[in-house]
Amino acid sequence: MRLPDFIRQHVDRIVDEWEQFAKTITPAADTMDREALRDHAKAILLAAARDMNTAQTASEQLAKAKGEGVEKTPSLYEASASHGELRHTVGFDLVQMTSEFRHLRACVIRLWVDDLKSPDMAYFQDMIRFNEAIDEALAESTAAYAEQVNHSRDIFLAILGHDLRAPLQAVSMSTELLMRKITLEDDALACAINIKRGARHMAVMVGDLLELVRSRLGKSLPIQPLPMDLADTAHAAIAEACAGNPECDPTLTVHGDTRGVWDDGRLSQLLQNLIGNALQHGASKREVTLTLTGEADTVRLEVHNFGTPIPEEAIGTIFDPLVRSADEEPGQPSTSLGLGLFIVKEVVNAHKGSIAVSSNETDGTLFTVILPRRI
């Protein structure tokens, strides 16, 4: 009997063995009923049998073996993806889920070989096609499982970031109240200032984390554009940066009309990240310069600093999330999650603008943002 026919005829027997094996995957299987244990096994097997009966050329078989240029088998894809999602939901880890497919493959081949009366060359082709189908099912289940893992992680990070804001606000407000109510001196004053500064840095990190999660969950950065002057926002951002870093003294130069319709809060976030990046990686905190230039339909923002140049190979990924600067010492404490420039890019994109960076030993590092006056 050909393998596709054998699978269809004995599908319930095979699924019974699948169920018995799934029962051994504890502790997740301890709370699962018979239907949950069997899950999409029958649908996967029948889809595999249909796929094996589909005509396939030698070139198509070679491409499928390499995972190249082959369209997914719809019914096999749907059943396998659903299986991966549900196994993640009930608590299977990735190794446990993939072990089910290993057992399924071995079970089908063993039962079929035991049933064979006389070997035939076509049977070897059946075995190849069956292995291809199971590999496809495993790949789709794994992909769906991984997607669920990523989604769960992002939800966890969103909850974590949200819940951290309340205690951070309490720390900041308590420190502020303490400094107003009591005259602190020497070490006590220094400690209070450090607490206030640390809470501010942590609040920025939590905000950046939430923006990352929002983007990963498929939500674009929300903005509320209103008429504003970017020069005013730049002055305020510089003052904010210097409040947490008294040694800094960025220079702002303004040319032309810098008014437009933008989200003031988002552009303040953009400026603070660019200024903070320049202060952190610049050779001197007093050699950070900002230049605003009003052009016909756009406003150009340039943030420049001298210091260790960004390696050429890092330029392409500098705006990716969770990418840290190459010149940071491993193991050293940092107030950055590697999200600052990612947030900058998201703000620019939300305003339909563009951002570019150039960096070398002679000219220093220059970030250039161009914003249309109206979105």
Specify whether the CB–CB gap between 356 and 271 falls below 8 A: no
Encode pLDDT of 197-234 as tens digits.
888 878 877 877 777 776 665 556 778 899 999 999 99
50 has which bridge partners? Answer: none
Q: What does 267-280 look like in DSSP terms, one character per residue? A: HHHHHHHHHHHHHH
Which residues of the chain register pLDDT less than 70?
60-73, 119, 121, 128, 151-152, 154-156, 158-163, 165-166, 214-220, 243-246, 285-286, 321-339
- Per domain, the residue ranges of the chain are 3-152, 155-216, 226-372
Which distant-in-sequence residues (6+ apart) come within 8 Å of 313 by Cβ? none
Strands 289-294 and 298-305, how do they pair?
antiparallel
| Region 3-152: CATH code | 1.10.490
What does the pLDDT read at residue 297?
94
Superfamily of domain 226-372: Histidine kinase-like ATPase, C-terminal domain (3.30.565.10)
Which of 56, 52, 64, 46 lies closest to 2 in space, CA to CA? 52
User: Hey, what amino acid is at 244?
Assistant: G
Per cent of the chain over pLDDT 70 is 81
Q: What pLDDT, on a 0 to 100 scale, did the predictor assign at position 282?
A: 77
* pLDDT at residue 148, rounded to an integer: 76
Q: What is the pLDDT of residue 330?
A: 42
User: b or e along 16-27 (b: 16 or more beta carbons within 10 Å of the residue's beta carbon)?
Assistant: ebbbebbeebee
Same fold, 3-152 and 226-372: no
